[in-house]
Amino acid sequence: MVYGGGKITMILIVGGAGYIGSHVNKLLAKNSFKTVVFDNLVYGHREAVQWGEFVLGDLADRDQIRLCFRKYPIEAVMHFSAFAYVGESVVHPARYYMNNVANTLNLLEAMREANVRYFIFSSTCATYGVPQEIPIIEDHPQRPVNPYGRSKLMIENILEDYDKAYGIRHVNLRYFNAAGADPEGKIGERHSPETHLIPLAVYAALGINNDIRIFGTDYPTKDGTCIRDYIHVTDLSDAHIKALEYVKDKDMSNSFNLGNGIGHSVREIIDAVKRISGNDIRVIESERREGDPPVLISNYKKAVDILDWRPHYADIDTIVDTAYRWHSKNT
């Protein structure tokens, strides 16, 4: 992956100690960008920040983020700092609106004061809600069904207003299911609690967990389980750099889906982990979870056409293999 580089050199990565942010940081450093990671380490991991500068701070503290802009010659911001547990967002919506929305406003205000005009936002396909058509395109109606998705959509709406009023150009990157780990094995995926299917299946294959639970086996899909679009975290990272180049070169805002355009069922993911690990996995079938759509698959053609981006790790066994190798050594 080769980038133009050179135009923007110093990037602030908010939430850069987390899963996706740390992978983006690695790829930015590999391509000669200078980075500053700002993270409160509530969900992030200090050991994942292996490149650039690190600032321990919280967006809830306006003075901390302002100081960061004063100390470093920041030219653009990539924002990954958000709570992202859908079920928790339903039980504790205030926590999500305060952290995901109010704290983002603190960040945007600090950007305004520092005259920083470029913003790459970690958004989500959850802003679409229950899809009316598959695959999902960017102009699909955005009707999120939980506070997490609504908090992300609120930020997208805020960014549109900040673009018009203050000239802050942004790109919304709507992820589907981020998955996998750094192919070089330096960083990977670690959440507490872990809710993502691939690492949970890997834990079961490694004997760390006794089993894997399938929520819902009666969906109108080929095997009765939910189908999702899994995108490798390195491909996501690549898209962030291309989005940065786009927003700088074009001086305009936009939104893009990031996925593989391929759907895999829960059972297919478990089978892939079995193949890669060579181990059997005990499966427990449970009732559906509220709010899980049967199928979520992206149409990412817009990113191909405009950003010249495309997935390089599209094969599900390749994605699972990177995750399995990392967890085998780091769990």
DSSP 171: E
Side-chain-side CA neighbours of 200 within 13 Å: the count stands at 17
Sheet-wide strand order for 169-175:
53-56, 34-39, 10-14, 76-79, 118-124, 169-175, 254-258
| Dihedral sign, Cα of residue 258, residue 263, residue 266, residue 267 | negative
End-to-end CA distance of the chain: 29
DSSP 134: S
Annotated catalytic residues are 148
| Omega of the bond leading into 147 within 30 degrees of 0 (cis) | no
% helix, strand, coil for the chain, step of 5: 40, 20, 40
How long is the chain? 331
| Dihedral sign, Cα of residue 237, residue 299, residue 151, residue 116 | positive
SS3 state of residue 53: strand
Instruction: Calculate the CA 107 to chain-centre distance.
Output: 18
Query: Phi, psi at residue 317, to the nearest 5°?
Result: -65, -35
Q: In sequence order, what are the beta bridge partners of 298?
A: 136
